[in-house]
């Protein structure tokens, strides 16, 4: 027993080995079975993935066709609103959202306004249109945690969704947690190429009740790209329109001015002829027989000739005066002049005339300071004219009174007479040229009809006003008000390279700072490329100073401010006024405030404020206020700069879009044939329906780059020279580049890029050979060649289908894939090969599918 037990307890070594091997074999088998199962599952998964991808590709290709329809509308529809609504409709239809809303930034503002809708009734549209979203608010919603691709999904489960404005909330009924909820928000921001926010769109109520996948979001973004191009294009167009309009207005004004000028010229020539006529007539009479004219008459004749000559001279002088004012060629310089002194002088000069006419002249002594910055000669001419006019029209025994006064920052003069007066309806017109209240009267008094017009020009030049009031029969009063000092104007640096927007911003900024800070002198300095500073805009400085001031990096107070990015406030009113090398008085630096001007992208320049009107020192609050202003100015300037850059960018984008569109329009005639031929070849090669569809699609758009090559290459030259050949060869790359925003499937890009490769490896751009070239590209190459041969190009006449086919067959194995050439032979209907009209109708196994795809 013991042995048996032993035997039983200890089996033979062989048995044990065998058992071990069996055990190991079983485990191996299990492992293998598991691996096989895994492999099976992987294969299954892979094949599912493959089929779903093929299916996806087909769906995407269909959606791309829809997209292209939208794009082609951009050319035919100028109105942005219509176009955006079209895009909204396309999103609704092709991507399955019942509600689409587009908000667009109002140009020049920070407001986003609802401009396009789909799936919303009138009341909802109105409510949304009335609701504005601020750009800053919108940007604050775009948190990283919500980001999906380039869009933002804010789930109703996130508390932030309650922060958003109500907008439009659809009635979706009961929804499960994983379904799209009424409070879910999907925002697709629309940024221009330069990163400027143009607007955004949001979608709601997906037809499939699902929260959109990343791929759907990406498709939404493609629509977004088109909306961006459309908006930029429309703005460009609107800008162009506006400029046209401005041009038209300017032309209109020019015509009016021209009419006015012509009228003036004809009136002047009449006025000049009148004294000339008198002179000629009297001289003629004298020539007829001077001996027959009585001595008394003779003296009278000569007096008249003399008077009329003087009248002619005065008239010519007046016309010249006016034309100098009109052309801005008036030579005048402002200097302090005491108005009352000019009045006294004039009264003394007119005293003999007044005495003869028995009119009393009375200068009322002013109680105010009547010193005014004015041109002395012009001021004397003005006062003399008003005074002599008053004396002329005042009957004997009357009086002319002069009153000078200061009112605020103006100095005024009133000249009042007790003369015949002017009727009320004529008061407005007396400053017009040659407007004669009563010409016989004017002429009796020897006027030129231009005196008051000249007075008005003088007053206008000084920035003042002149008005008349009168009571007929009792007298008239002319009132002149002149600004005591030249109204400060913002000057821009002459050599400035600022764009229009920047120039406008800086001009306004300087005015605003002067107003708020109550300062006489404000200068805004910009950084030079070398890091120095120049004055870009200034108020209260003369043009020469503005043009010439240039500070090296770190120099002076402004240089220090720029370098340290810290404000400086200097108060040393005792310091004497500096004298600039030009000899002109430089601005007093006694009370001086200088702050850095910074934008988001860094230092822009320095803002200086000098000479407070109150002549008090600047205080810490003033410095703080200037810093606040500087921040605003900096932001505005930066915005203007980015606007200027955007305008340049928009033009590029618009150019690209135009080339795509013109290609599509030109290709519309031949595209269906090409699509059918490409699809037919694909089917003959045994490719799947999805692949055939995709290749057909690419065939319809792949040559977009050809448009960018340029009209002259395609239509002008009969034969391609080397540079033109290079340009044509480049087009494959251009097509891929231009189509980039439209591209969803990587294969599309590949196909486009390689359709000029040759089977034997001597093609372009990469020199691929044989199977390295994607099948789609090989098909495209053949379709392309066949079409261009039969349609013809400017540099090559059209051939018949037979000739084209023969040539392509001869190139099989060299340029083309022999299998594809064989498929082409099968796809082409033999009967129509000799038809001049080219591949007009292609044998197509499934015309229904092609038609449906279009």
Partner 1 sequence: MAKGKILVVDDEIYIVHILDFSLGMEGYEVITALDGEAALEKARSEKPDLIVLDIMMPKLDGYETCKALKAEAKTKDIPVILLSAKGRNADQKLGFEVGADDYITKPFSPRKLVERINAILGQNAPHRLQA
- Choose the binding region for partner 1 from 402-410, 438-446, 522-530, 795-803 (rule: CB under 8 A): 438-446
Q: What's the min distance (Å) between Cβ of 393 and partner 1? A: 17
User: Is residue 309 at the binding interface for partner 1, with CB under 8 A as the rule?
Assistant: no
Which one among 297, 335, 564, 762 touches partner 1, defined by CB under 8 A? 297
Residues sharing a CB contact under 8 Å with residue 57, sequence separation 6 or more, in sequence order = 690, 691, 694, 745, 747
Q: What's the min distance (Å) between Cβ of 359 and partner 1? A: 23
- Output the CA angle 715-718-722, nearest 5 degrees: 100
Choose among 722, 794, 781: nearest CA to 753. 781
Choose among 132, 110, 97: nearest CA to 210. 97
User: Is residue 177 at the binding interface for partner 1, with CB under 8 A as the rule?
Assistant: no
* Cβ-based burial of 36 (10 A; exposed 0-12, middle 13-18, buried ≥19): exposed
User: Is residue 295 at the binding interface for partner 1, with CB under 8 A as the rule?
Assistant: no
Which one among 253, 270, 362, 565 touches partner 1, defined by CB under 8 A? 270
User: Is residue 42 at the binding interface for partner 1, with CB under 8 A as the rule?
Assistant: no
How many Å apart are CA 797 and CA 662, to the nearest integer?
23
Q: What's the min distance (Å) between Cβ of 417 and partner 1? A: 23
In the complex with partner 1, the residue whose CB is nearer, 269 or 848, is 269
Q: What's the min distance (Å) between Cβ of 543 and partner 1? A: 45
In the complex with partner 1, the residue whose CB is nearer, 161 or 309, is 309
Which one among 14, 159, 327, 440 touches partner 1, defined by CB under 8 A? 440
In the complex with partner 1, the residue whose CB is nearer, 452 or 824, is 452
User: Is residue 670 at the binding interface for partner 1, with CB under 8 A as the rule?
Assistant: no
How many Å apart are CA 281 and CA 311, to the nearest integer?
16
Interface of this chain with partner 1, residues 408 to 437, rule: CB under 8 A: 436
How many Å apart are CA 405 and CA 364, to the nearest integer?
10
Q: Are 152 and 145 in contact (CB under 8 A)?
A: no
How many Å apart are CA 791 and CA 75, to the nearest integer?
26
Q: Which residue, chain included where needed, has tokens 């508390």?
A: 159
Q: Which residue, chain included where needed, has tokens 């038809």?
A: 835
Alpha helix (H) ranges present in 518-670? 543-548, 556-564, 620-667
User: Is residue 262 at the binding interface for partner 1, with CB under 8 A as the rule?
Assistant: no
- Output the CA angle 610-611-616, nearest 5 degrees: 120
DSSP state of 715: I
User: Is residue 166 at the binding interface for partner 1, with CB under 8 A as the rule?
Assistant: no
Which one among 274, 528, 555, 586 touches partner 1, defined by CB under 8 A? 274
In the complex with partner 1, the residue whose CB is nearer, 367 or 440, is 440
User: Is residue 292 at the binding interface for partner 1, with CB under 8 A as the rule?
Assistant: yes
User: Is residue 45 at the binding interface for partner 1, with CB under 8 A as the rule?
Assistant: no
How many Å apart are CA 839 and CA 801, to the nearest integer?
7
- What sign results for the dihedral spanned by CA atoms 480, 484, 486, 488? negative
In the complex with partner 1, the residue whose CB is nearer, 423 or 851, is 423
User: Is residue 281 at the binding interface for partner 1, with CB under 8 A as the rule?
Assistant: yes
Q: Can you state the angle between helices 671-684 and 775-791, rounded to 10 degrees?
A: 140
Question: What is the size of the binding site for partner 1 (CB under 8 A)?
Answer: 25
Count of CB atoms situated within 10 Å of the CB of 202:
20
* Structure tokens that stand for 57 in this block: 């590709």
Choose among 446, 438, 377, 84: nearest CA to 231. 84
How many Å apart are CA 279 and CA 285, to the nearest integer?
10
User: Is residue 276 at the binding interface for partner 1, with CB under 8 A as the rule?
Assistant: yes
Q: What's the min distance (Å) between Cβ of 353 and partner 1? A: 21
User: Is residue 291 at the binding interface for partner 1, with CB under 8 A as the rule?
Assistant: no
Core vs surface per residue 723-743: b (16+ CB within 10 A) or e:
ebeebbeebbebbbbbbebbe
Q: CA torsion angle for 375, 377, 379, 380 (degrees, to 10)?
A: 160
Choose among 316, 314, 456, 320: nearest CA to 386. 456
- Choose the binding region for partner 1 from 281-289, 402-410, 579-587, 723-731 (rule: CB under 8 A): 281-289
How many Å apart are CA 671 and CA 708, to the nearest integer?
18
How many Å apart are CA 357 and CA 378, to the nearest integer?
26
- Choose the binding region for partner 1 from 146-154, 283-291, 679-687, 795-803 (rule: CB under 8 A): 283-291
Q: What's the min distance (Å) between Cβ of 581 and partner 1? A: 57
Q: What's the min distance (Å) between Cβ of 292 and partner 1? A: 7
How many Å apart are CA 834 and CA 221, to the nearest integer?
47
**18 phi and psi, to 5 degrees?**
-60, -45
Which one among 110, 135, 236, 285 touches partner 1, defined by CB under 8 A? 285
How many Å apart are CA 522 and CA 539, to the nearest integer?
5
Which one among 6, 284, 365, 574 touches partner 1, defined by CB under 8 A? 284
Which one among 57, 92, 202, 308 touches partner 1, defined by CB under 8 A? 308
User: Is residue 17 at the binding interface for partner 1, with CB under 8 A as the rule?
Assistant: no
In the complex with partner 1, the residue whose CB is nearer, 276 or 360, is 276
- What sign results for the dihedral spanned by CA atoms 612, 617, 623, 625? negative
Q: What's the min distance (Å) between Cβ of 397 and partner 1? A: 25
User: Is residue 159 at the binding interface for partner 1, with CB under 8 A as the rule?
Assistant: no
User: Is residue 142 at the binding interface for partner 1, with CB under 8 A as the rule?
Assistant: no
Q: What's the min distance (Å) between Cβ of 486 and partner 1? A: 41
Which one among 93, 147, 273, 544 touches partner 1, defined by CB under 8 A? 273
Which one among 258, 358, 439, 471 touches partner 1, defined by CB under 8 A? 439
Three-class secondary structure of residue 189 per DSSP: strand
User: Is residue 280 at the binding interface for partner 1, with CB under 8 A as the rule?
Assistant: yes
In the complex with partner 1, the residue whose CB is nearer, 20 or 303, is 303
Q: What's the min distance (Å) between Cβ of 264 and partner 1? A: 15
- Choose the binding region for partner 1 from 2-10, 273-281, 378-386, 764-772 (rule: CB under 8 A): 273-281
Cis ω for the linkage preceding 765 (within 30 of 0): yes
User: Is residue 278 at the binding interface for partner 1, with CB under 8 A as the rule?
Assistant: yes
Choose among 808, 815, 804: nearest CA to 839. 804
How many Å apart are CA 103 and CA 817, to the nearest integer?
51
In the complex with partner 1, the residue whose CB is nearer, 191 or 282, is 282
In the complex with partner 1, the residue whose CB is nearer, 143 or 270, is 270
- Choose the binding region for partner 1 from 99-107, 280-288, 576-584, 806-814 (rule: CB under 8 A): 280-288
- Choose the binding region for partner 1 from 287-295, 406-414, 636-644, 754-762 (rule: CB under 8 A): 287-295
User: Is residue 304 at the binding interface for partner 1, with CB under 8 A as the rule?
Assistant: yes
Q: What's the min distance (Å) between Cβ of 274 and partner 1? A: 6
Q: Are 461 and 480 in contact (CB under 8 A)?
A: no
User: Is residue 288 at the binding interface for partner 1, with CB under 8 A as the rule?
Assistant: yes
Greatest distance between any 2 Cα atoms in the chain: 191
Q: What's the min distance (Å) between Cβ of 314 and partner 1? A: 16
Q: What's the min distance (Å) between Cβ of 273 and partner 1? A: 4
Three-class secondary structure of residue 602 per DSSP: strand
In the complex with partner 1, the residue whose CB is nearer, 252 or 439, is 439
Q: Which residues bind partner 1 (CB under 8 A)?
A: 269-270, 273-274, 276-282, 284-285, 288-289, 292, 297, 304, 308, 436, 438-440, 443-444
């Amino acid at each position: 027993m013991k042995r048996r037990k032993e035997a039983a307890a200890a089996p033979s070594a062989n048995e044990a080995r065998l058992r071990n091997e069996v055990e190991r074999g079983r485990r191996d088998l299990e492992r293998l079975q598991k691996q096989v199962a895994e492999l099976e599952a992987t294969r299954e998964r892979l094949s599912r993935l493959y089929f779903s991808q093929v299916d996806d590709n087909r769906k995407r290709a269909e959606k791309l066709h829809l997209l292209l329809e939208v794009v082609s509308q951009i050319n035919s529809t100028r109105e942005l609103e219509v176009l955006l609504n079209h895009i909204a409709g396309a999103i609704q239809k092709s991507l399955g959202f019942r509600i689409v809303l587009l908000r667009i930034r109002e140009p020049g503002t920070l407001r986003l306004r609802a401009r396009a809708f789909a799936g919303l009734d009138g009341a909802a549209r109105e409510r949304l249109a009335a609701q504005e979203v601020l750009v800053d608010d919108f940007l604050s919603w775009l948190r990283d945690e919500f980001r999906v691709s380039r869009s933002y999904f804010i789930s109703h489960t996130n508390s932030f969704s309650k922060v958003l404005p109500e907008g439009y909330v659809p009635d979706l009924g009961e929804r499960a947690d994983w379904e799209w909820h009424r409070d879910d928000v999907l925002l697709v921001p629309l940024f221009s190429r330069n990163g400027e926010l143009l607007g955004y769109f949001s979608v709601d109520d997906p037809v499939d009740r699902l929260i959109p996948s990343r791929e759907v979001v990406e498709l939404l973004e493609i629509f977004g790209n088109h909306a961006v191009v459309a908006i930029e294009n429309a703005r460009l167009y609107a800008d162009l329109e506006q400029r046209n309009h401005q041009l038209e207005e300017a032309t209109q004004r020019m015509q009016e001015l021209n009419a006015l000028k012509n009228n003036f010229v004809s009136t002047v020539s009449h006025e000049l002829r009148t004294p000339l006529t008198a002179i000629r007539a009297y001289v003629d009479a004298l020539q007829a027989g001077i001996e027959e004219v009585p001595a008394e008459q003779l003296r009278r004749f000569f007096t008249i000739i003399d008077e009329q000559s003087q009248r002619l001279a005065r008239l010519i002088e007046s016309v010249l005066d006016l034309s100098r004012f009109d052309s801005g060629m008036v030579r005048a310089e402002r200097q302090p002049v005491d108005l009352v002194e000019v009045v006294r002088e004039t009264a003394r000069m007119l005293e003999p005339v007044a005495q003869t006419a028995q009119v009393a002249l009375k200068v009322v002594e002013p109680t105010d300071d009547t010193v005014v910055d004015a041109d002395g000669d012009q001021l004397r001419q003005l006062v003399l004219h008003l005074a002599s006019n008053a004396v002329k029209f005042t009957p004997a025994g009357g009086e002319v009174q002069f009153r000078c006064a200061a009112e605020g920052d103006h100095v005024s003069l009133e000249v009042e007479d007790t003369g015949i007066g002017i009727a009320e309806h004529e008061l407005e017109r007396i400053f017009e040229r040659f407007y004669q209240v009563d010409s016989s009267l004017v002429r009796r008094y020897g006027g030129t009809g231009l005196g008051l017009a000249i007075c008005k020009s003088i007053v206008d030049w000084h920035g003042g006003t002149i008005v008349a009031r009168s009571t007929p029969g009792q007298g008239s009063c002319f009132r002149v008000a002149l600004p005591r000092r030249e109204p400060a104007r913002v000057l821009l640096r002459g050599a400035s390279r600022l764009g229009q927007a920047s120039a406008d911003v800086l001009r306004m900024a300087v005015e605003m700072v002067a107003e708020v800070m109550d300062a006489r002198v404000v200068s805004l300095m910009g950084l030079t490329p070398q890091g120095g500073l120049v004055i870009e805009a200034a108020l209260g400085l003369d043009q020469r100073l503005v043009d010439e001031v240039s500070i090296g990096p770190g120099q002076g107070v402004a240089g220090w401010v720029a370098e340290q990015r810290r404000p400086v406030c200097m108060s040393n009113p005792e310091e004497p006024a500096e004298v600039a090398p030009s000899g002109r008085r430089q601005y007093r630096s006694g009370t001086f405030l200088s702050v850095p001007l910074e934008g988001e992208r860094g230092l822009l320049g320095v803002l200086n404020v000098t000479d407070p009107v109150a002549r008090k020192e600047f205080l810490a609050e003033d410095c703080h206020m200037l810093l606040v202003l500087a921040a605003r100015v900096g932001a505005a300037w930066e915005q203007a700069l980015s606007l200027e850059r955007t305008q340049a960018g928009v033009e590029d984008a618009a150019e690209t879009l135009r080339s795509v569109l013109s290609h599509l329009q030109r290709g519309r005639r031949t595209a269906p044939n090409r699509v059918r031929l490409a699809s037919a070849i694909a089917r003959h090669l045994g490719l799947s329906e999805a692949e055939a569809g995709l290749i057909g699609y690419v065939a319809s758009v792949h040559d977009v780059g050809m448009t960018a090559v340029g009209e002259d290459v395609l239509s002008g030259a009969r034969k391609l020279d080397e540079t033109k050949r290079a340009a044509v060869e480049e087009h494959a790359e251009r097509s891929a580049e231009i189509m980039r925003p439209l591209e969803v499937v990587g294969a599309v890009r590949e196909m486009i890029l390689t359709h000029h490769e040759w089977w034997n490896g001597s093609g372009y751009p990469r020199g691929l050979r044989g199977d390295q070239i994607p099948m789609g590209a090989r098909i495209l190459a053949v379709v392309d060649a066949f079409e261009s041969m039969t349609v013809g190009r400017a540099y090559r006449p059209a051939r018949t289908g037979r000739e084209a086919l023969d040539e392509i067959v001869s190139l099989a194995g060299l340029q083309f894939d022999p299998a594809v050439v064989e498929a082409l032979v099968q796809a082409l209907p033999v009967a129509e090969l000799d038809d001049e009209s080219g591949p007009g109708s292609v044998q197509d196994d499934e015309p229904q599918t092609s038609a449906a795809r279009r």
